[in-house]
Amino acid sequence: MSVLAWLAGVGLALSVALGVSGLFPSAPITSRPALGRRLSLPDDLPRRVLTAAGGAALFGLITGWPVAALAGAVGGYFLSELTSPRSERQAPIERTEAVAEWTEQLRDTMAAAAGLGQAIIATAPLAPAPIRAEITALAARASRERLVPLLGELGEALADPTADLVITALSLAAAGEGQDLGEVLSALAVSARDDATMRRYIDASRARTRTAVRIITAIAILSLVGLLAFGRSYLAPYGSAGGQVVLGIVLACYGAGVAILNRMAVGSAPDRLLAKATGSLSVPVSELAR
């Protein structure tokens, strides 16, 4: 139990350190290597830390094994990835479809002899729900501020790869360098809808793998609970130092298998063109509009 208490103390100290560091935002980074992007901290880090601490405490107190506490911490940290709801996965796709619809609204409004700024103001109340707040904020400032910087802020707010392409076309048009904007917007809208359709198909095809990951994880947890409740003598050999090493190897192999399956079931977001801090290509909209 002394080893478990030491690990719990280290985990608590790390949790406090991570919580304090989250209170102080870091300076924006305009360029980040590929390895840095892979190692970037998730947005829901505080929640992950809390679930990791809860998992470590639960399994540590039930079993009294340091390895079980460590496995509980790792499982709690990645629990949100195994239980992500369908709405969370569909949100980026719905945003892409909303960008396509708004692009068509802009095209149709500008076809009626309206300028770009007027078209943005006119379409703001009719913008699709997933992006209406961002478009409304843009329209409220479009009549009194330069449009190109505002479009750059819109791109950061939407954080969508397809929206980056639309905003680039609009920025070039606002700077007087775009030609045939209506045809460009039509092509971008079609491309956005095709992209959303493809992503929905891919997400549906991965549903079986996601279900398999959840079933395997649930069976493993229920088996462990059953053994702890009715077969502690079967688990007694794992209480020794050698048993802890063997248990660590078994849990590591199992965790690696679940991680590989989960990786197969979750898609990665495409790279953005105009990302300032998260993308591999950091290109301000003002530079594209020159």
Quick one: three-class SS letters along 90-115? HHHHHHHHHHHHHHHHHHHHHHCCCC
User: For the chain, how far is it from start to end, CA to CA, in angstroms?
Assistant: 66
Q: Same structural domain for residues 178 and 123?
A: yes
Specify the pLDDT at position 178: 63
Specify the pLDDT at position 36: 41
Specify the pLDDT at position 11: 57
Which of 83, 8, 2, 100 is closest to 44 using CA atoms? 83
pLDDT along the chain (290 residues), means of 10: 50 49 41 44 77 86 85 84 74 89 90 81 90 91 87 88 88 79 89 88 82 84 83 83 89 86 73 57 43
Give the single-character DSSP code of 239: G
- Asked whether residue 31 is assigned to any structural domain, the reply reads no
> Could you tell me the residue range of the domain that residue 191 belongs to?
90-203+273-288
Q: Same structural domain for residues 6 and 77?
A: yes
Specify the pLDDT at position 7: 53
Q: Same structural domain for residues 163 and 278?
A: yes
- Asked whether residue 185 is assigned to any structural domain, the reply reads yes
Counted domains in the chain: 2
Which of 99, 89, 109, 95 is closest to 165 using CA atoms? 99
- Asked whether residue 36 is assigned to any structural domain, the reply reads no
Specify the pLDDT at position 277: 42
Q: Same structural domain for residues 277 and 191?
A: yes
